[in-house]
Structures are given as C-alpha cells and as structure tokens.
Amino acid sequence: MKVLFLNPPFMGEYGKFSREQRSPAVTKSGTFYYPMWLCYAAGLVEKNGFDVKVIDAPAKRMGIEDVIKDAKEFAPALAVVDTSTPSIFNDINAAVRIKEATGSFIILVGTHPSAMPEETLKINESIDAVARREYEQTVIELALLIKNGKLSKEGLGNIDGISFRWDGNIFHNKDRRFLEDLDSLPLVSEVYKRHLDYRDYFYAHSRHPIITLITGRGCPYHCVYCLYPQTFNGHKLRYRSIKSIVDEIEYCLKNFSDLKEIMFEDDTLTVNKKRSIEFAEEILRRGLKFQWSANSRADVDLETMKILKKAGARLFCVGIESGDQGVLDAMKKRLTVPIIKEFFNDAKKTGILIHGCFLVGNPGETKETLEKTLNLAIELNPDTAQFFPIMIYPGTEAYNWALENNFLVTRNFNEWLTPDGLHNCVVSRPGLSNCELVEFCDKARKRFYTRPAYILKKFIQGLSDMQEMKRLIKGASIFSRYLIRGSFGKGSEKRC
C-alpha cells in the first residue's frame, strides 16, 4: 500500500513557506525548516513495509498542479497532509485536490488541527480525519487499518489521537499518550537522505548545508506564547538515548559529504545540565569533529558551556524575548534580566555565538518596555538577532488572552501573514496597536543591523572563513530587501 506525505505548496512566488517553524511564514532571512515531523512519521510507516513518498512542495517551489501530477502517478491509498494556522485554508484546498485526484483517505496533521480539530474538519467535508499532537503511531495504525480492509467507524474509533468524520458526523477519540521510547523511531536523517535534498534547507544563523535533528521531545517550561509544548509535544521531557543521538550524528557525517553543521531543534537542548555534559562527553569520546547549533535558554552555566563548546557547539538560538522584567514574568519566562546578561558574558568567554530572539507585544508590554528590549538587544550584542511582533496561535495561553480581551483584529487565519507571506501581527490593544508592533520590529532590525561596529564584526567573521562569508552573503542578500523596505514596503498592503 502507498502512503503520501505532503508538505503543501504555499506562497511559492514569494519564497519558501516554512510550515514547521514555531511561527510559520516566509522568513526575512531565507530560513527554511525541514519537514521533520512529517519525515519521522514517513520513516515509521516505511519501516512497517509501506511504499512511501514525501513531497516537500515549498522546498522545490512546486505549485499545486505539479503536486497533483506527482500524486496521481504515485496513487496513494492514504495521504498525510501537513498544515499550519496561517496556511490552513490553503492546506485544506490542497488536500481536497489530492483526494479528488487519487481517492485517498485524507488526514491532516500539525499544530493547528491539534488545537482546533472540530473547526478544522468543518472547513471542508472532504477531509476524513485530523491527527492531534504527535502522530507517528497514529498514522501507522491508520495505514494498517486501511491496508487490512478494516476502514470503518468502529475501526477508526479504536485509533487514539484522531478526530474523524463518518456519515456526516464528527467523532473525537481520546488523546494518544506521548511516545516514551523515542529510540524506537527510525533515524530522521535516513528519511531525509531517501526523500529530500538537504541542500534545500537553510538557517540564516547557521552554516550551510545543515541537517536538523532532535535529542528529545517536550519542554518543562510554560511560556504563554510557545506553540509546540502547548499543542503538540507537551511539557514532559522525553529523551532519546545518548548512544542513539551520537549514532545518528555519525550517520550524518558519513552520508552527507559536504555537511557543515547540525542543528538540534529540541525546544531546549540544554535544559538538563547532567545530560548536556553526557552528550558532550560522548561526542568527545568518539572523537567526532563537527560544528553544531541548538535551541537553548539563557541560563546555561559557564561549566556546561565550556564542555559543549569543546564538543563542537558553535551557536545557541536563545529566546530572550524582552528587556523588561515585568513582561518576562507575565509571559512566564522564568528568567531574569541579570541572569540573561550573565549568560551572554559566559557565552563570550567560551566563544559560543548567540542568535537572540526578541518577541514583542506580550502581556504587560508598553512603548516604554519596547525600548528597553531594543536597548538590551544592543547591549547584549548577539551574533544575530530577530525581532518579532507577538504571533499567537490557537491552543496557546497567549491566544486565549487575546481572545478573551478582544485584542484580535481579525479571526481570519489568512491574515496571520502579510500579503507576501511575512509574519503579521493581529494583536492590537489600547496604547499599542498591531501596526505599531510590526513597525517597531522593523525599526529594531535597522538599528541593530546597521551599526558600523556590527557590520565590521560580521565582515571580519567572513574574512576568517570563506564558507562563513558565503552564508553571510546569502542571508544578507535576502534580509537586506526587507531591512530597507520594512514589513509594509512598497507594494504591500497594511493589514491593521
């Protein structure tokens, strides 16, 4: 039996729409994520003997007609279609076209149907089911049901973690328990190797080509805006074995000949000091020489950073979010400004670069706290920085906060993006409108990136490493267009 895994086309004329990132959009920097969760599920289905095809349409700038042509030729019995909040109507239209062309059973996956299963199913009656939260086991059980000719209301009713349609009615099964044995899953990098071109994926803050892996799932923190822990992976930490992780690193180093970096996309790789040190020690024990980056909190101590650096850590992607302690507390960040500053000082001592993320517009934000955030960003002087207006998604505390206070300027998910696919902001409140947040981020980027000292620093970085120079030029060539014109430049319509 054949199973299609589709990352649907969207915003293709403007750039690669990055559906699996925490705030799905076409990015100003050209950053484009792997369809990692889709590939994990595809790998497990393949491991169980099914014929699998993965189509990442945004990666190849494929339009819907190209996708339909490939789907017809493949003729799947089951199609697994990835989704996101700002692209949900587009994604469902693509799924409907697949169903019309192939007659396949359609199941939607991702954070949006996890948060709004009934609402998602009601958008179009051709959608058969949605999977809620992590979906590898859900999809394999569904595939086996179809393969064995047991597709029925009763059969579907026995699959945890789905909401489905039968005879015009919608049914919600109980939640699936999160997978504990992560080592039971196939290596996602093997799926990349078989189905994707790793050169299509790019992180502006990291060296290219890059491979994205994870060492565990879940995040114990409860930041009000953070999408994946609240809607998809949960807050309980579940780890792969250190052996499994480093085995996969070795596989990547052997099978992707020009690989320059590995990015660990855990919500927070460094949350457990003991495990972080064990991870580094195993890399060093095996004598592996490679550079890597990871998501981190701004609270890793100097001792841990030193050994991680020795084991190849090049850069941490860190959510700083705000320079105001009251705003940090309101978003449940569980960080203090002094700890953030100490972290940056320690990072400089070890030579680990920092990509700083600043998210404005959270509860308690004012025009004064915005300026404190920009001033902190300049003081900290991370290697690179991103400034986002708050992006809220169904299933998060931040979304409920905006909904309950009538701060949403629209409930049309199409308007979660600007007309050319960039991040928009739909949260507006007295004294601080959505447009002001977007325009502040434009201003903050200009002030941060046009400082003469910063430009000189990056130029010197590039001279020391020609591969680094190529990466900087690629990211800067895309980013500079938006830096000059802003989010609402010529030809763009303000959605305020």
Question: Quick one: tokens of 378?
Answer: 């300049």
Range of the domain at 22: 2-172
Are 231 and 290 contained in the same domain?
yes
The CATH number assigned to the domain holding 71 equals 3.40.50.2300
Q: Which of 127, 152, 172 is the last residue of a domain?
A: 172
Please answer whether residues 325 and 336 qualify as being in contact, where contact means their C-beta atoms are separated by less than 8 angstroms. yes
| Chain centroid, CA 77 distance in Å | 28
**Does 494 fall in a domain?**
no
Same domain, 9 and 152: yes
Q: Give the count of beta carbons closer than 10 Å to the beta carbon of residue 45.
A: 24
Q: Computed over its alpha carbons, how large is the radius of gyration of the chain?
A: 22
Number of domains in the chain: 2
For residues 275 and 126, membership in a common domain is answered with: no
Q: In the 3-class helix/strand/coil scheme, how is the chain assigned residue by residue?
A: CEEEEEECCCCCCCCCCECCCCCCECCCCCCECCCHHHHHHHHHHHHCCCEEEEEEHHHHCCCHHHHHHHHHHHCCCEEEEECCCCCHHHHHHHHHHHHHHHCCEEEEECHHHHHCHHHHHHHCCCCCEEECCCCHHHHHHHHHHHHCCCCCHHHHHCCCCEEEEECCEEEECCCCCCCCCHHHCCCHHHHHHHHCCHHHCECCCCCCCEEEECCEECCCCCCCCCHHHHHCCCCCCEECCHHHHHHHHHHHHHHCCCCCEEEECCCCHHHCHHHHHHHHHHHHHCCCCCCEEEEECCCCCHHHHHHHHHCCEEEEEEECCCCCHHHHHHCCCCCCHHHHHHHHHHHHHHCCEEEEEEEECCCCCCHHHHHHHHHHHHHHCCCEEEEEECCCCCCCHHHHHHHHCCCECCCCHHHHECCCCCECCCECECCECHHHHHHHHHHHHHHHHCCHHHHHHHHHHHHHCHHHHHHHHHHHHHHHHHHHHCCCCCCCCCCC
**CATH code for the domain of 384:** 3.80.30.20
Residues 249 and 144 in one domain: no
The whole-angstrom separation of Cα 366 and Cα 482 is 25
Q: Is the peptide bond before 209 cis (omega within 30 degrees of 0)?
A: yes
pLDDT at 289 (0 to 100)? 96
Residue 191 forms part of a structural domain: no
Give dist(CA 364, CA 376) in Å, integer: 17
Q: Is residue 302 a contact partner of residue 349, using CB atoms and an 8 Å limit?
A: yes
**Which of 130, 219, 143 shows the shortest CA–CA distance to 176?**
130
How far, in Å, CA of 488 to CA of 442, rounded? Answer: 9
User: Is position 297 within any domain?
Assistant: yes
What tens-digit pLDDT sequence spans the chain (496 residues)?
A: 999 999 999 976 556 899 999 999 998 888 999 999 999 999 999 999 999 999 999 999 999 999 999 999 999 999 999 999 999 999 999 999 999 999 999 999 999 999 999 999 999 999 999 999 999 999 999 999 999 999 999 999 999 999 999 999 999 999 999 999 999 999 999 999 999 999 999 998 899 999 999 999 999 999 999 999 999 999 999 999 999 999 999 999 999 999 999 999 999 999 999 999 999 999 999 999 999 999 999 999 999 999 999 999 999 999 999 999 999 999 999 999 999 999 999 999 999 999 999 999 999 999 999 999 999 999 999 999 999 999 999 999 999 999 999 999 999 999 999 888 888 899 999 999 999 999 999 999 999 999 998 998 887 777 776 665 565 555 555 555 555 555 555 444 455 5
Same domain for 366 and 286: yes
Task: Please check whether residues 207 and 156 belong to one and the same domain.
Answer: no
- Extract the tokens encoding 426: 């739909």
In a domain, 136, yes or no: yes
For residue 193, count CB atoms less than 10 angstroms from its CB and return exposed for 0-12, middle for 13-18, buried for 19 or more.
middle
For residue 434, count CB atoms less than 10 angstroms from its CB and return exposed for 0-12, middle for 13-18, buried for 19 or more.
Answer: buried
Note the pLDDT of residue 155.
98
Q: Identify whether 447 is part of a domain.
A: yes
Listed in sequence order, the residues at least 6 apart from 304 whose beta carbon sits closer than 8 Å to its beta carbon are: 270, 273, 276, 277
CB 410 within 8 A of CB 426: yes
Rounded (10°) CA dihedral 414, 419, 422, 424: -60
Q: Are residues 259 and 160 in the same domain?
A: no
Cβ 226 vs Cβ 22: under 8 Å: yes
The HSE-up count of residue 415 (CA atoms within 13 Å, CB side) is: 13
Same domain, 167 and 210: no
Provide the token pair at 346.
Answer: 């320690």
End-to-end CA distance of the chain: 48
CA distance 496 to 476: 28
Q: Is residue 193 part of a domain?
A: no
Q: Are residues 245 and 387 in the same domain?
A: yes
Q: Looking at the structure, do residues 115 and 223 belong to the same domain, yes or no?
A: no
Q: How wide is the angle at C-alpha 176 spanned by C-alphas 143 and 216, nearest 5°?
A: 95
CA 24 vs CA 99, 214, 312, 425: distances in Å: 25, 19, 29, 13
Q: Is residue 495 part of a domain?
A: no
| Token pair for 476 | 């800067």
Residue 180 counted as domain residue: no
Same domain, 10 and 101: yes
Q: Say whether both 225 and 366 belong to one domain.
A: yes
Count CB neighbours of 258 within 10 A: 9
